[in-house]
């Protein structure tokens, strides 16, 4: 049996509603409360304002199997633009079928096309499957810097 056909494309504002259920599932994976409307609104704002780039993986029928969201930013030390690959999510039924790998490779190609020096990402320490995927594609774990955050409240 051959692997299903998967196409990767950039999402536009018209895709926000279709990607939103996956984005909401991604957020729930990281402990957030379900908010389908908020997910759709957030994606639509990012896409409409061109504040992020979203790649979507679709099957031959156009069903969205997964997505990744990239935020353009900068590395002050290198004085060059980079992408922060913040979100990567594949439908549970499609995992281990190469969808995540295809999305990461497409993100890398897009980063090169956009003149980015590199891509950065973070993942949960417990997300061993994702870590194995990243490392299999040549991503290296940062052993020098610690990441911190500070919630500012509403």
CA gap 108, 89 in Å, rounded: 16
Say if CB 125 and CB 147 are below 8 A apart: no
Architecture of domain 7-136: 3-Layer(aba) Sandwich (3.40)
Reported as half-sphere exposure (CB side, CA atoms, 13 A), residue 17 has a value of 1
Angle at 85 between CA 4 and CA 32, to 5 degrees: 90
Number of H helices, E strands in the chain: 4, 5
Edge-to-edge strand ranges of the sheet holding 64-75: 7-10, 53-58, 64-75, 80-90, 119-120
pTM greater than 0.85 (yes/no): yes
Q: Looking at residue 4, what is its pLDDT?
A: 62
Say if CB 69 and CB 86 are below 8 A apart: yes
- Taking CA atoms, 18 is separated from 15, 22, 25, in Å, by 5, 8, 13
User: What are the pLDDT tens digits along the chain (154 aa)?
Assistant: 445 689 999 999 999 999 999 999 999 999 999 999 999 999 999 999 999 999 999 999 999 999 999 999 999 999 999 999 999 999 999 998 999 999 999 999 999 999 999 999 998 899 898 999 999 999 999 999 888 888 898 7
Q: Which residue ranges make up each domain of the chain?
A: 7-136
Q: Looking at residue 71, what is its pLDDT?
A: 97
């Amino acid at each position: 049996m051959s692997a299903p056909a998967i196409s990767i494309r950039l999402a536009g504002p018209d895709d926000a509603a279709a990607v939103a259920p996956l984005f909401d599932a991604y957020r729930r994976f990281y402990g957030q409360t379900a908010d389908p409307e908020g997910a759709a609104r957030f994606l639509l704002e990012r896409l409409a304002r061109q504040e992020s780039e979203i790649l979507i993986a679709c099957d031959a029928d156009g069903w969205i199997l997964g997505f990744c969201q990239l935020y353009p930013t900068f590395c002050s030390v290198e004085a060059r633009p980079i992408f922060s690959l913040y979100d990567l999510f594949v439908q549970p039924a499609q995992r281990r079928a190469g969808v995540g790998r295809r999305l990461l490779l497409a993100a890398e190609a897009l980063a090169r096309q956009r003149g980015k020096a590199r891509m950065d990402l973070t993942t949960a320490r417990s997300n061993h499957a994702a870590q194995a995927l990243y490392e299999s594609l040549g991503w290296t774990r940062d052993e020098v810097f610690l990441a911190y955050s500070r919630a500012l409240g509403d």
